[in-house]
Structure 1
Amino acid sequence: MDFKPSGRSDIFRIDETYGCVLSIRTFGSMLEDHYLANIIDLPMPLSVNLHIQPIAQSDALALVKRQLDWMDKEIIDEQMSAMKKGYDYTILPPELRYSKEEAEELLDFLRNKNERLFTYTGLIYTYADTVDALERQVEQIISVGQGNSLGIEPLYYRQRQALNSVLPLGMNHVDVTRYLTTGQIAMQMPFASLELNQEGGGYYGQSKQSGNLVICNRKKLASPMGFVCGKPGSGKSFSVKREITNTVLAYPEDEIIIFDPAGEYGNLIEALGGVNVRLAPDADTALNPFDLADVEGRADAAQLAFKIDAFLALSSAMMAESSEGLPEADKSIITRCVEAAYARCSGGEGMPTLSDFHEILVEQPEAEARDIALRYERYVTGALSFFNRQSNVGFHNRITNIDLHDLSTNMRVFGMLTALEAVRNRMYANFDRGVTTWLYIDEVQSLFGHPTIIDYFAKFWAEGRKFNLICTGISQNTSHMLTHERARTMVLNSDFMLLHKQASQDLAAWAEMLSLSGAEREYIDESIKAGEGLLVAGGARVPIRDDFPKGALYDLWNTKPEEIAQLKRAHVFEKNAKRSRS
């Protein structure tokens, strides 16, 4: 270590690195609360150290009184000098008058406003590989300080003592101090932002206010259910894929299920060792809405009640009930026929299918039953009858992706509801084993199209919290979803929301729902970049940014079409090059 490199007294050298410690000497008349943050945000390696020592209240009062006594003596001397020279003795030098007023104000604060006095030493340490680079950094720090009315200077001939003072030992070896009050000290704490760093949590980005990592553990939230919402291209799929990866790595016993209407999670699931289950007219896989796999040991009455709700929701999806809801007569008929279908197959002949349900509907005397049977007919025979089979899909792999992108819009909602029933069965089985079930539903707004479907999904959402289900709804269109009272209740009862860039209509809906402040609205408006947004986790609201570095993980989570196409072209080029060399 050399504390006089090339005869310099304001820098030092350690091995091949040069360093400098600067001192905050003076403050302006108005101390701003952001000055320290402006220095910390400089793009350079630096460390800011504040040595703060409280002064006993009696000593502080005595100190201020002595200063006032000294000022009174100076005032008397000035007045006597003015009288001898024939001047008006009431005219005092401005600096002496202002100092007297400040001291009197300080004495009032200490006596009557619960203020305390502290000795303060502010040190800033920076380093660089060359002297020129270090000098540029020092000039930048001094310039930022001047812009905030701060006098910052290097500590000449005291760099050794200054270096010992910036080490994390809590010892101040530099006698460059001044007095500050409680309020002035508090304003210098650059921690005006709320931080989120929960043990065992996953990475969600960096705080836009402090730059610190945002780590959230949804299992520690009172209600870990939640939503990830944003416009197309806002980064919501990237965020969800990253959370899925975090979950797979952090909780090796938990099970993860994804509803994938766009077919964009397949590559990730394969990379994580999961299985993709494709539901389509030409697929070999099948899910039976009547299936009770994984829950054979549970109470029959409770299972039957939930199955009836599920079939009411399925009927709503296929009967295009609009906003009116199913008539009460239709509900009674569907309930009766679901019970009859299970009763008919109760002799050990397996689970009933849609064919059994359809046959029972046809046998009913009511005209409404024949109308319901007619609507179910296309799902019993023909190209759309692939749900009219016994289930051959099991959740034997802990990561399962339900690929729905080959289904039409109407069939997609039907498929989601059927898959929800399978997930509910699996949730019960996992709960009995002490395993958490994670469910991700993309395009969740499609489940808020009909009142009966909303009622079913809201019941599923509420019940899931009691059986270790952590469900995440993913949507790019939330204003329509939030118009429903049950949907609003689901949101308000969920402690996790990750909001990316919102369209103006969606932004207004979220601002009204969550009582967002003006600053919080700006974190999710049209001006932000992809990956930025607002994370709501319980009582914490943290604005985030996410400049995730490109690499293998970025490529795995990325959903930008142009970048994916570029990767595919590069892969084809590399493959052709290898083929030509061989």
Structure 2
Amino acid sequence: MILRKLRERSGSPELGGPAIHVGSRHLRVGGGVCQTLLVIGYPRDVSAGWAEPLFSYPGQLDISFHLDPVPAPTAAQQLRRRRARLESAHRTSTAQGRVEDPHQVTAAMDAAEIADRIATGQGRLFRVGVYITVHAPTLEMLDGHVQQVRALCSSLLMDVTPAMFRAVEGWISTLPLGTDAVGTARSMDTDAVASMLPFSSPELVADLGETTVVYGINTHSSGLVAWDRFYGDLDNHNSVILARSGAGKSYLAKLEVVRSLMVGVEVTVIDPEGEYTRLADAVGGTVLRLGSPGQPGLNPFSLPPATEDEQGFTTRALFLHTLIGAMVGDLSTTDRTVLDRAIVTTYAQAGITRDPATWNRAAPVLGDLAAVLEELATAPDTEEGFARAAQDLVGRLEPFTQGSHADLFNGPSDSTVGGHLTVVSLRDLPDEMRPVGVLVALDAIWRHVTTRAEARPRMVVVDEAWLLLQDPAAARYLARLAKAGRKHWVGLTVITQDVGDVLGSALGKVVIANAATQILLKQAPQNLDMAREAFQLSDGESHLVGTAPRGSALLVAGHQRVGFHPVASPAEHRLITSDPAELAALRAEEEDPYGGVPEPPDSEAKATGGQEVDG
């Protein structure tokens, strides 16, 4: 049937027509020739990625794997018969005084081990057929390629044989049809099958778990680069992505976010430019637009449940000191004393004390703190120095309590961080307000990821991190998250385009040093020497990150280095692209999905072919 369809497609009534010519070993198709090799022997002991040299062969090869699971009862019966034959042959040879055959003994041991694994449910048995079709423009070049492929297979301890008088069947078996027309298969268990699949890179050796993410295709071979930040013996779950502007760092970060969501990782993003909102809307995530009119804010006075933080009152008071310091500038010793007294009084007026039983009451807001400071400034029993300090703080806090962005800090906490994806957008915040907004967002995220309610892998993505590192308070919070995140199963992803600012500050170096996974895209020439020294890059690796095409990256994890290029599916690309031309085309498509073509008729007209029917 398949041959008949191929003849019909080629327009030739005969098999030997101009489109397909069949020889004893080769097949002439579409202006070229090809020959199929059947894999009939495999090495006994292999490691992950052992067949990678075959997948990265520079010529044109079509390699197909045909996996047919064998039912457990049938597998057990086959293994029992095989063990009986092998043990019987061994006993016969021993009785006749023959020299022990090591291959026979090894085969019996392997059959017994596989039988035990299948009986205990640790593996399954498969019938595996592997076929290699070699392509070339001419028959002479084909002979040379076939010899090279056979030599390569021999170096991998694989036995191959040409598909004699079955050239068509071999070719069909390597087409993406899922059809094994040859039927030359061997029995293998789960581990052996997994080691053959091209889902690993030989340059990258790592333990992969349930949260494995495919980053892209190895730039030095055709293997896939897969990495798991939350599993294995990594020092921490953190990652840094460093690149110059336009190198594709946000694209890679969003691709990792999408694929992390698929494997059950909870993701929270601090998004300075609103790049992740389309992605969040598409996957049903939550978007907190700080500073946007009518949008909910985050109240820094809100207390956590006592079950999550027994020191919640003290923690809130200390954070309020940090936050107000970021709002109004440096605080003197007198300012801090007055502020501490005002914070405790503000909570007390709301009925909240150090007793956890009072923490479920409505929390005060920043305006309440300003009112308490005003009372301290005008109270007759307040010392003159304290009164001046209190009045000064009231004036410096006025933009945040009565200004245009008072709703962000001077209202109840109507929004929370949580869910499978939360994006905190800072796009609507003015530049001078962003350090404060980032600090509030980081505090809310830290409070969420340290909750004891549910233990699950979480990822915190901070895009354009150089904006945070410019503010000392936000930089300290980022460094704290980088250091202590592992204890709470949290991985911090720091993305920045200004490598000099990150490596030029002490807290930036702390963030880099506490990232077990480091990804370098194309670097600016002026930052190349700094990146080379910080990440201990070789001459070849420095050349790679200095001349990498857009999107290509170098993954550095300790002594392991591998170059890769991220590849997204069309559906993923639509969600993560930030190219203005593509975004404009997508918006136009959403507004006019039929591209100017009249909208199709309604269901009744469709049923009648679009024509009116009488009666």
- With structure 2 as the length reference, what TM-score do the two structures score? 0.64
- 1:547 is displaced (CA, Å) by 4.4
Residue 35 of structure 2 corresponds to 19
AA aligned opposite 1:306 = T
**Equivalent position SS for 2:428:** coil
AA aligned opposite 1:537 = A
Alpha-carbon distance change, 327 to 528 in structure 1, aligned in 2, over 3 angstroms: farther
- 1:314 is displaced (CA, Å) by 2.4
**Equivalent position SS for 1:501:** coil
Alpha-carbon distance change, 506 to 303 in structure 1, aligned in 2, over 3 angstroms: farther
2: CA distance, partners of 1:555 / 1:255: 22
Residue 208 of structure 2 corresponds to 198
Q: Provide the alpha-carbon RMSD of the alignment.
A: 4.4
- Given the alignment, which residue of 562, 572, 576 partners 1:557? 576
- Given the alignment, which residue of 448, 452, 464 partners 1:426? 448
AA aligned opposite 1:390 = P
- Given the alignment, which residue of 319, 334, 342 partners 2:347? 342
Residue 462, structure 1, aligned to residue 483, structure 2: yes
Residue 499 of structure 1 corresponds to 520
Alpha-carbon distance change, 577 to 158 in structure 1, aligned in 2, over 3 angstroms: closer
**Equivalent position SS for 1:231:** coil
Residue 127 of structure 1 corresponds to 133
2: CA distance, partners of 1:504 / 1:359: 53
**Equivalent position SS for 1:234:** coil
Residue 289 of structure 1 corresponds to 300
AA aligned opposite 2:60 = M
Residue 212 of structure 1 corresponds to 223
Residue 245 of structure 2 corresponds to 232
Alpha-carbon distance change, 433 to 144 in structure 1, aligned in 2, over 3 angstroms: closer
- 1:6 is displaced (CA, Å) by 8.9
AA aligned opposite 1:314 = L
Greater CA drift, 375-384 or 496-505:
496-505
**Equivalent position SS for 2:515:** coil
| Alignment check: 8 A CA contact 2:555 2:561 kept | yes
1: CA distance, partners of 2:144 / 2:323: 69
Residue 394, structure 1, aligned to residue 416, structure 2: yes
1: CA distance, partners of 2:321 / 2:59: 59
- 1:234 is displaced (CA, Å) by 1.3
Residue 564 of structure 2 corresponds to 544
Alpha-carbon distance change, 330 to 514 in structure 1, aligned in 2, over 3 angstroms: farther
Alpha-carbon distance change, 274 to 46 in structure 1, aligned in 2, over 3 angstroms: closer
| Alignment check: 8 A CA contact 2:439 2:473 kept | no
Residue 361 of structure 1 corresponds to 373
Alpha-carbon distance change, 500 to 227 in structure 1, aligned in 2, over 3 angstroms: same
2: CA distance, partners of 1:566 / 1:258: 26
Residue 351 of structure 1 corresponds to 363
- 1:263 is displaced (CA, Å) by 0.9
Residue 57 of structure 1 corresponds to none
Residue 327 of structure 2 corresponds to 318
AA aligned opposite 1:420 = L
- Given the alignment, which residue of 258, 263, 279 partners 2:274? 263
Alpha-carbon distance change, 193 to 548 in structure 1, aligned in 2, over 3 angstroms: same
2: CA distance, partners of 1:576 / 1:13: 45
2: CA distance, partners of 1:385 / 1:7: 80
- 1:358 is displaced (CA, Å) by 2.1
- Given the alignment, which residue of 551, 554, 565 partners 1:534? 554
Residue 245, structure 1, aligned to residue 258, structure 2: yes
- 1:272 is displaced (CA, Å) by 0.9
| Alignment check: 8 A CA contact 2:303 2:316 kept | no
- 1:341 is displaced (CA, Å) by 3.1
| Alignment check: 8 A CA contact 1:276 1:403 kept | yes
AA aligned opposite 1:353 = V
- 1:303 is displaced (CA, Å) by 2.8
- 1:281 is displaced (CA, Å) by 4.5
AA aligned opposite 1:534 = L
1: CA distance, partners of 2:328 / 2:533: 33
2: CA distance, partners of 1:308 / 1:511: 42
Superposition pairs of residues 565-580 of structure 1, within 5 angstroms = 565-575=584-594, 577-579=596-598
- 1:517 is displaced (CA, Å) by 1.8
**Equivalent position SS for 2:401:** coil
**Equivalent position SS for 1:127:** strand
Residue 272 of structure 1 corresponds to 283
**Equivalent position SS for 1:544:** strand
- 1:39 is displaced (CA, Å) by 10
- 1:288 is displaced (CA, Å) by 0.4
**Equivalent position SS for 1:352:** coil
CA deviations on 1:179-228 (whole Å, 9 max, x unpaired) are: xxxxxxxxxxxx97345572330111122223311111110233002222
2: CA distance, partners of 1:330 / 1:379: 18
2: CA distance, partners of 1:327 / 1:505: 40
CA deviations on 1:124-172 (whole Å, 9 max, x unpaired) are: x96358x856654545688999xxxxxxxxxxx98759x99xx9979xx
- 1:404 is displaced (CA, Å) by 1.6
AA aligned opposite 2:260 = T
| Alignment check: 8 A CA contact 1:127 1:134 kept | no
- 1:412 is displaced (CA, Å) by 1.8
**Equivalent position SS for 2:269:** strand
Tell me, which stretches of 5 or more residues in structure 1 are unaligned? Answer: 23-35, 48-124, 146-156, 171-190
Q: Greater Rg, structure 1 or structure 2?
A: 1
Equivalenced residue count is: 455
- Given the alignment, which residue of 31, 34, 58 partners 1:42? 58
- Given the alignment, which residue of 374, 392, 405 partners 2:427? 405
CA deviations on 1:253-280 (whole Å, 9 max, x unpaired) are: x432221211111111111111222222
Residue 416 of structure 1 corresponds to 438
2: CA distance, partners of 1:261 / 1:275: 16
- With structure 1 as the length reference, what TM-score do the two structures score? 0.67
Superposition pairs of residues 439-478 of structure 1, within 5 angstroms = 439-478=460-499
- Given the alignment, which residue of 316, 338, 343 partners 1:307? 316
2: CA distance, partners of 1:469 / 1:482: 23
**Equivalent position SS for 1:480:** helix
AA aligned opposite 1:515 = Q
**Equivalent position SS for 1:219:** coil
AA aligned opposite 2:535 = L
AA aligned opposite 1:193 = E
